[in-house]
Amino acid sequence: MKMYRFVVVLCLFFLSCDQKTKVEKEVEEIPVDIKVERFDKAFFETKPEDLSKIKKQYPYFFPGNDDNVWLQKMKEPIWREVYDEVQKKYSNFEPVREEFNELFKHVKYYFPKTKIPKVITVIGEMDYNAKAIYADSLVVVALELYLGKDHKFYEFPNYIKYNFEEKQIMPDVVSSFTYRNIPAYPDKNLISQMIFEGKQLYAKDLLLPNYTDAEKMGYSPEQIKWCEENESYMWRYFLENEMLYSVDPKLTTRFIAPAPFSKFYLEIDNDSPGRVGAWIGWQIVRSYMKNNNVSLSELLKINAKEIFEKSKYKPKK
């Protein structure tokens, strides 16, 4: 009997590998050639008297008529230093462009109607809520926020600057892409928020197949391990405290929003990473996709209640 089970498991394993190989082969055949424009270089290498030329070339970056802000940024020593540091790190943007090609091959495979965007690199205002923005025909990447978590410029909490790494550019782009494609959840309860986040994390499973779970989540490997080891405990905590259908806005801060740790108000808080509710939402969506035959684009549109009820989610003990 044991030998029979072993053979079945082995067959399923190879079937899964063959399927994955088939998908990746099809993805590889999709023609994608991402164009990159270095607005950061064009802006800082333009003389102040020629600002009008840049405005004409990139009108969407200059919504107002006040040139003083831009002229000051051109001349300000600190921004010149930021520009120099960005150029040191990204003088050759080709490796990142190749990653964009790989990402958008997968995007075209799963979302065939998607337009291939143009990538524009900028130096923004250190706004970590807008590191990478996907907007139909454009992807805007703020390179000043991808210099490495230990860079001297960053005076942010560790849990925020941890993801100021080049390796986070693609996960950030996928987050922006999927948020635009997931309908806003009408229910404000915790389980709806968890599954909303879980959808965009599951999209990374398919669109970034070579990335680790830690990279997709923006966690360290140790934080992923903590979640895996405490999954059953966390789930029981949510159930016993009747949190899943609660609309208490504090639960978003405690378990969904970026934070140095999650707030169970227990001893485990010091060891827990932030956003564990999003991580569990990811596991629920993964379970749903194992038990239901739907496409990624269909998944993003299915309401949280249906996903939860049909997921057959059962955390590992």
Q: How far apart are CA 56 and CA 181, in angstroms?
A: 31
Q: Report the pLDDT value the prediction gives residue 309, as an integer from 0 to 100.
A: 97
- pLDDT above 90 covers a percentage of the chain that reads 84
Instruction: Return the minimum-mean-pLDDT range out of 2-6, 119-123, 283-287.
Output: 2-6
Q: Is the confidence at residue 10, as pLDDT, over 70? A: no
d(CA 230, CA 298): 30
Instruction: Give yes or no for residue 144 having a pLDDT over 60.
Output: yes
Under the banding of pLDDT at 50, 70 and 90, the label for residue 8 is very low
pLDDT for position 186: 75
Q: What is the pLDDT of residues 16-30, one digit of tens each?
A: 555 568 888 899 999
Sign, Cα dihedral of 246, 301, 274, 249: negative
Mean pLDDT (the chain) is 92
Q: Would the CA dihedral through 206, 212, 213, 215 be positive or negative?
A: negative
Measured distance CA(238)–CA(232) in Å, rounded? 10
Residue-wise pLDDT tens digits, 90-123: 999 999 999 999 999 999 999 999 999 999 999 9
Instruction: Give pLDDT, residue 19.
Output: 58
Euclidean distance between CA atoms 62 and 115, whole angstroms: 24
pLDDT at 119: 98
The closest of 178, 212, 180 to 198, measured between CA atoms, is 178
Dist CA 242 CA 30 (whole Å): 47
- 165-189: average pLDDT: 92
